[in-house]
Amino acid sequence: MPRASYESDLQAVRAELLEVAAMTERAVSESVRILKERLMDEGSALIENDEVINARCHAIEEICINLTATQQPVAGDLRFLFSTMLIAMELERIADYAKGIARINATIAPGPHIKPLIDIPRMAVVATSMLRSAIEAFLKVDPDEAARIPARDVELDLLYSQVYRELLTHVMQNPSKIDDAMKLAFSAHNLERVGDRVVNICERIIYHCTGEVVDF
Amino acid sequence: MSETRMCTSEYSLSYGDFKALNSITIDIPTNRITAIIGPSGCGKSTFLRSFNRMNELIPCVSTEGSVMLDGEDIFEKDVVELRKKVGMVFQRPNPFPKSIFDNVAYGPRIHGIRERTRLAAIVESSLKAAALWGEVRDNLGKSGLALSGGQQQRLCIARALAVEPEVILMDEPASALDPVATLKIEELMEQLKKDYTIVIVTHNMQQAARVSDLTAFMLTDENRAGNLIEFGPTRDIFTTPGDKRTEDYISGRFG
Ligand SMILES: Nc1ncnc2c1ncn2[C@@H]1O[C@H](COP(=O)(O)OP(=O)(O)O)[C@@H](O)[C@H]1O
Ligand SMILES: [Mg+2]
């Protein structure tokens, strides 16, 4: 087979992206579990794990750059490498949002939240399932599937404004809780941003599949 | 899209019983660089030579279909007139064993220009257009063969330009040159396309990607006849080719 090592490098970078995507998805779910259940000891592992995700994302970017520089990829290979690199950058950001939520949890004094978290965990479910669908669409080279995912971002936006309004109402009744309420609002905002990043990933997937640069 | 300078329609060519080109239809646009790529033996050079009837020099060649220049059938034109309009540059630089001046003045002289000052003006403008003037202006009496490979190739380009062609055919013009001389030729092509229509055969895909506006991909079929598989803007061919065979070839997954 011609260019055997190039082929295996392409396969390896694809496998690496999938693993990092799975790690990122877990980081998001885990950060919200930590926040919801007020797990004060588990945040530091997640924060450390973020370093690993960063490093692996950078490694993916480096491989993509090196293959581009040395192998002159064109057509499908070129689109694959560019979209992989850009998706890795989005994953890194998504993992940062998860880290942000774990950090926020650490700054809220131990004990139950000002109110039980219902919609924030829902947001995490929507955001992670969007991410999982996106990665599947990437794997299957399915632009139609990738084009359907951004619509689900609307759900995240709705949940976010709901969380925000509730926290606002709560603060008006209990002004002393403003600090904690704002922290929860930040957490919800982070999840809302995860959705935006997944939408960016979908744009890259469509480029990978069709060569078309779209903007959702 | 600019207008068509040359076109072929269902053009086939055989060497005796062997069909080397199978029904090729293509439009070559004016003031653009069209690259023809494909594995060796797929008929690129044969096809290129079809644009100025160079294949006629080979015995037993027969053709079908048409080749047009500015809407006129090239087989109905005077062949000397045709080759004046459609010049050619080859893989190996092939200057005549004459002075630089005489190399460039050769074509104009054949076409009846005798006047020394006019010839001198043509030599100067052609050498300038071929980006060689600055390097040879003080040595026009020197033999063309004394130049470096890259300079010789630019001399051959100047020689082709001297008869004021409309189209320049180039068959792997840089394959015998080092990377610096190659870049000079590529830069030169970019300048020349303002005034000329260029068709280049190259086995170097990166070169096609770098210099051309349009790319034609050729491949042999099961009878070893060359077919045009895909033709389109170079940008599209190298990012989103329409045919799997094109993608495999340009991605290096061929053979
Ligand atoms: N003068 C010729 N006589 C017979 N066959 C030829 C001649 N020139 C080329 N061929 C054959 O035509 C085919 C295409 O050759 P060519 O046009 O040189 O391909 P390419 O330029 O793509 O390498 C090859 O099979 C080659 O052997
Ligand atoms: Mg050839």
CA-proximal residue: ligand 1, atom 18 (nearest): B45
* Stretches in chain A below the pLDDT threshold 70: 1-2
Residue closest via CA to ligand 1's atom 24 equals B41
Residues B189-212, mean pLDDT to the nearest whole number: 95
Q: Is residue B119 part of a domain?
A: yes
Sequence-distant (6+) residues with CB within 8 A of B31 are B2, B5, B193, B194, B195, B196, B197
Residue A127's nearest CA partner among A38, A31, A207 is: A31
**Could you tell me if A103 and A95 are in contact, meaning their C-beta atoms sit under 8 angstroms apart?**
no
What's the confidence (pLDDT) of residue A202? 98
Q: What is the 3-state secondary structure (H, E, C) of B61-106?
A: EEEEEEEEECCEEHHHCCHHHHHHHEEEECCCCCCCCCEHHHHHHH
> Is residue B255 situated within a structural domain?
no
Residue A216 resides in a domain: no
Q: Which amino acid is at A159?
A: L
> What pTM was computed for the model?
0.87
- Residue B1: the pLDDT is 60
* % of residues, chain B, pLDDT over 70: 99
- Condensed to tens digits (0 to 9), the pLDDT of residues B19-62 reads 999 999 999 999 999 999 999 999 999 999 999 999 998 999 99
Closest residue of chain B to A211, computed from CA coordinates = B240
B86 pLDDT above the threshold of 70: yes
What pLDDT score was predicted for residue B65?
97
- Residue B151 in any domain: the answer is yes
Q: How many domains in chain A?
A: 1
Residue A63, phi-psi category: left (phi > 0), alpha (psi -120 to 50), beta (remainder): alpha
Residues ≥6 apart with Cβ < 8 Å to B103: B95, B96, B144, B155, B158, B159
Residue A215 included in any domain: no
Which of B237, B251, B253, B254 would best serve as a mutation to test chain A binding (most A beta carbons within 10 A)? B251
CB nearest A74 (choices: B238, B254, B255): B238
Residue A70 lies in a domain: yes
Q: What is the pLDDT of residues B136-178, one digit of tens each?
A: 999 999 999 999 999 999 999 999 999 999 999 999 999 988 9
pLDDT at A214: 92
Q: Look at residue A189 and tell me if it is in a domain.
A: yes
Question: In this structure, is residue B196 part of a structural domain?
Answer: yes
Residue B58 Cβ inside 6 Å of ligand 1? The answer reads yes
* Mean pLDDT, rounded, of chain B: 95
C-alpha to C-alpha distance for B134 and B140, rounded to whole angstroms: 11
pLDDT of A96: 98
> Could you tell me if residue A203 is inside a domain?
yes
B255 pLDDT more than 60:
no
Q: What residues make up the domain containing B187?
A: 4-250
| Boundaries of domain holding A25 | 3-210
Mutate to test the interface with B, among A68, A72, A74, A82 (most CBs of B within 10 A): A74
Q: Give the closest of B209, B236, B247 to A76, CB-based.
A: B247
Q: Do B251 and A210 touch (CB under 8 A)?
A: no
Please give the distance, rounded to the nearest whole angstrom, from the Cα atom of residue B145 to the centre of ligand 2: 24
* Domain count within chain B: 1
For residue A33, being part of any structural domain is answered with: yes
What percent of chain B is predicted at pLDDT more than 90?
Answer: 95
Chain A nearest-CA distance from B78, in A, is 43
Structure tokens at A58: 């950078």
- Out of A2, A6, A211, whose CB is closest to B255? A2
Q: What is the pLDDT of residues A93-130, one digit of tens each?
A: 999 999 999 999 999 999 999 999 999 999 999 999 99
* CATH number of residue B69's parent domain: 3.40.50.300
Q: What is the CATH number of the domain that holds A66?
A: 1.20.58.220
Residue B55: alpha-carbon gap to chain centroid: 14
Instruction: Identify whether B210 is part of a domain.
Output: yes
State residue B254's pLDDT score: 75
